[in-house]
Amino acid sequence: MNKTVNQKAWLFVIPVFVLVAFNAIIPLMTVVNYAFQETFGNNVFMWEGTRWFKQILLSDRFHAALGRQILFTLIILFIQIPLGIFIALTMPKEGIGVSVCLVLMSMPLLIPWNVVGAMWNIFALPDIGFLGHSLNALGFDYNFTQQSGDAWFTTVLMDVWHWTSLVVLLSYAGLRSIQPAYYQAAEIDGASRWSVFRHIELPKMKKVLTIAILLRFMDSFMIYTEPFVLTGGGPGNATAFLSIDLVKMALGQFDLGPAAAMSLIYFFIVLTVCWVFYNLMMKNEGQS
Amino acid sequence: MSKISLKNLSHSYLSSQVNKEDWALRNVNIDWNDGGAYALLGPSGCGKTTLLNIISGLINPTEGQILFNGEDVTNKNPVERNIAQIFQFPVIYDTMTVFDNLAFPLKNRGISEQEIKQKVEEIAEMLELTSTLHNRASGLTADGKQKISLGRGLVRSDVNVIMFDEPLTVIDPHLKWILRSKLKELHQKINRTMIYVTHDQTEALTFADQVVVMHEAEIVQIGTPVELFEKPRHTFVGHFIGSPGMNILPCKIDNGAISINGNKIETKIDIKDKSFSKTEVGIRPEFIEFNEKGLPVKILKVSNTGRHKIIDTESESGKIKVIAKSSDNIPTGSAFLNFKKDYTYVYGDNWIIE
């Protein structure tokens, strides 16, 4: 069959291209631009090559922020994923309880980030907050504004409260899609509860869990608003995760070049981890 | 190894039952003899799967008892009942190899490695899975997966009963034949009670020694394929079994004399002092002949299947199908039909009158 060549089709791509250009390509290229140059007032730029990248990659400050960031992400993943699966497994499967649980689970997800930060800030205040005051009344020396351990504890708790629901909802959807015949066959095969989980439920949840882990990784790795409102990165730099540190550098110190370089490195890390993780998880999915 | 008896079994998925229709199973009484090959035949939604799940213990019946060798197992779970069940759609454990899938029911019962290996290899051989035994099960085609499901059901040698819930639905026709004869062969070899659920009469009649026909939550007849064919006890069995099915025509009973639209019909049955809201005559197309006199009909259509001719005719009481030999001469226009007396039955409110 002969297909007619018609280059006019490209015209149809223009609206999308313009849209993407304004919301992604141009801002990103601006950052790239800053990352290789030194800026002065009056839009004076000087070429710096890879200097900012070297500076960032070798700086202790970046290493520390990256370390905190990785630790935070690992902690919340290790709590939220198992906890989410566990809650999904124990949720009711029919009746009014389903809707009640689903609504309750969705609530934290509907609250804006800065509100979550503010809520937890007040909730955890050692003198008047319910959590802070109760902990102190119970004899714990708790003050998240001054002790870094407490600040970490509060930040992690806040994130678990805010985001475990996402894992629950995704896992629950995955569990609901399992045909009853699987459970019946397992019952007849004499499978234990653990075997049912290990050989039926977990494999059937694999895809949704991959999505859940990816989303939770990306969101937690780029977390900004909630710890910014809760602790402001403190005490000291204890909870200054990558994005908080980045904003400090870019807007606090106005070091646009190093900040741009750091943004690109940051972006590259997220992209790489997601790509590697996704490919690992989906490696055996080819045939089915 | 045991005889399975179901006593006054009824089941409903609703919490309260008002109408007949609220029941998925109504008053089922049946004995499955040890070592028998049974087919449970009926249209979709007639309660076959419910009955099967009750025998296996996946569902607790609303009323009635299940006895294995006289022992009440109504409240026991599937493991305690020691049964095997194969489902309509393949159930495999995705993360395991074919071997581990087949070994799974044995491992759960703490059987020794050596014995597991031997059993699994034997079953794999029979189902022609040997070449893929160490592949991951998730990579197989639908019928490969169903063979694994079958294998998991067959691998335990001590089960009380093996139940198949329309297991060949997903298998392609060519393989269906092979697997069905494999099952039949296996039944003769291991001599285990097998219950095979299907809505396909050919499958049921070729597999089973005894066919249990279900209709609207009830068992309407239990019998050999020949009995179901020659003497259907319910009009449903009449038209469900046979191709084409039995002709059912409204009739009048007057003082023991049966007539269709004024034409007297001869039967062996003695009908007196019985009253029904509906009476019908049932006659299989195979047992109708053309004659000089009898029930007047118009010939509508003659189709030749190669083996025989199927003639569609119309009487004043409804359409009648007739089967004749391929070589027979078929009258055209109008004709008269004669019903063979021995195979003419009368049904009162759908049930046979004897």
CATH code, domain carrying A194: 1.10.3720.10
> Is A185 among the domain residues?
yes
Q: How confident is the model at residue B239 (pLDDT cuts 50, 70, 90)?
A: confident
* Whole-number pLDDT of residue B188: 84
> Is A27 among the domain residues?
no
Which CATH superfamily includes the segment(s) B4-224?
A: P-loop containing nucleotide triphosphate hydrolases (3.40.50.300)
Assess contact for B280 and B251: CB atoms under 8 A: yes
- Taking one residue from A and the other from B, the number of pairs with CB-CB distance under 8 angstroms is 61
Q: Does B58 touch chain A (CB under 8 A)?
A: yes
The answer on pLDDT for A288 being more than 60 is no
Q: How far apart are CA B99 and CA A181, in angstroms?
A: 21
What are the tens digits of pLDDT across the range B132-187? 888 888 888 888 888 888 888 888 878 888 888 888 887 778 878 888 888 888 88
What are the tens digits of pLDDT across the range A27-38? 999 889 888 988
Percent of chain A with pLDDT over 70: 98
> Is A235 among the domain residues?
yes
What are the tens digits of pLDDT across the range A43-72? 788 888 888 888 888 889 899 999 999 999
Across the range B302-317, mean pLDDT stands at 87
Averaged confidence pLDDT in chain B: 86
Q: How confident is the model at residue A285 (pLDDT cuts 50, 70, 90)?
A: low
What are the tens digits of pLDDT across the range B191-211? 888 999 988 888 888 888 899
> Is A118 among the domain residues?
yes
* Whole-number pLDDT of residue A209: 92
* Whole-number pLDDT of residue A71: 95
Q: Mind spelling out the 3-state secondary structure of chain B?
A: CCCEEEEEEEECCCCCCCCHHHCCEEEEEEEECCCCEEEEECCCCCCHHHHHHHHHCCCCCCEEEEEECCEECCCCCHHHHCCEEECCCCCCCCCCEHHHHHHHHHHCCCCCHHHHHHHHHHHHHHCCCHHHCCCEHHHCCHHHHHHHHHHHHHCCCCCCEEEEECCCCCCCHHHHHHHHHHHHHHHHHHCCEEEEEECCHHHHHHHCCEEEEEECCEEEEEECHHHHHHCCCEHHHHHHCCCCCCEEEECEEECCEEEECCEEECCCCCCCCCCCCCEEEEECHHHEEEECCCEEEEEEEEEECCCEEEEEEEECCEEEEEEEECCCCCCCCEEEEEECHHHCEEEECCEECC
Q: Does B76 touch chain A (CB under 8 A)?
A: no
* Whole-number pLDDT of residue B1: 60
What are the tens digits of pLDDT across the range A148-171? 899 999 999 999 999 999 999 999
The answer on pLDDT for B318 being more than 50 is yes
CATH fold of the domain at B243-352: OB fold (Dihydrolipoamide Acetyltransferase, E2P) (2.40.50)
Q: How confident is the model at residue A287 (pLDDT cuts 50, 70, 90)?
A: very low
What are the tens digits of pLDDT across the range A112-154? 999 999 999 999 998 889 999 999 999 888 888 888 899 999 9
> Is A95 among the domain residues?
yes
**The two structure tokens encoding residue B293:** 């006199």
How large is the ipTM?
0.76
Q: How confident is the model at residue B273 (pLDDT cuts 50, 70, 90)?
A: low
Phi, psi angles (nearest 5°) of residue B10: -135, 145
Nearest to A188 among B84, B94, B96 (CB): B84
Percent of chain A with pLDDT over 90: 50
**Beta carbons within 8 Å of A102's beta carbon, 6+ residues apart:** A169, A172
Nearest to A188 among B56, B89, B93 (CB): B56
Look up the domain containing A124 and give its range. Answer: 60-285
What are the tens digits of pLDDT across the range B62-97? 888 888 888 888 888 888 888 888 888 888 888 888
Distance from CA of A97 to the nearest CA of B (A): 18
Assess contact for B84 and B161: CB atoms under 8 A: yes
* Whole-number pLDDT of residue B295: 86
> Is A14 among the domain residues?
no
Q: Does B149 touch chain A (CB under 8 A)?
A: yes
Q: Residue A81 class from Cβ within 10 Å (0-12 exposed, 13-18 middle, 19+ buried)?
A: middle
* Whole-number pLDDT of residue A264: 92
> Is A81 among the domain residues?
yes
What are the tens digits of pLDDT across the range A239-254? 889 899 889 888 888 8
The answer on pLDDT for B235 being more than 50 is yes
What residues of chain A lie within 8 A of the CB of B100, using their CB? Answer: none
| Number of domain units in chain A | 1
> Is A33 among the domain residues?
no
By C-alpha distance, the chain B residue nearest A184 is B58
Across the range A257-263, mean pLDDT stands at 89
Find which of A94, A189, A198, A287 to mutate to test the B interface (most B CBs within 10 Å of its CB). A189
* Whole-number pLDDT of residue A75: 96
* Whole-number pLDDT of residue B15: 81
Cα dihedral across residues A47, A49, A51, A57: positive or negative: positive
The answer on pLDDT for B342 being more than 70 is yes
Cα dihedral across residues B123, B129, B132, B136: positive or negative: negative
Task: Kindly report the pTM of this predicted structure.
Answer: 0.77
Find which of B52, B77, B91 to mutate to test the A interface (most A CBs within 10 Å of its CB). B91
* Whole-number pLDDT of residue A1: 61
Averaged confidence pLDDT in chain A: 89
By C-alpha distance, the chain A residue nearest B164 is A185
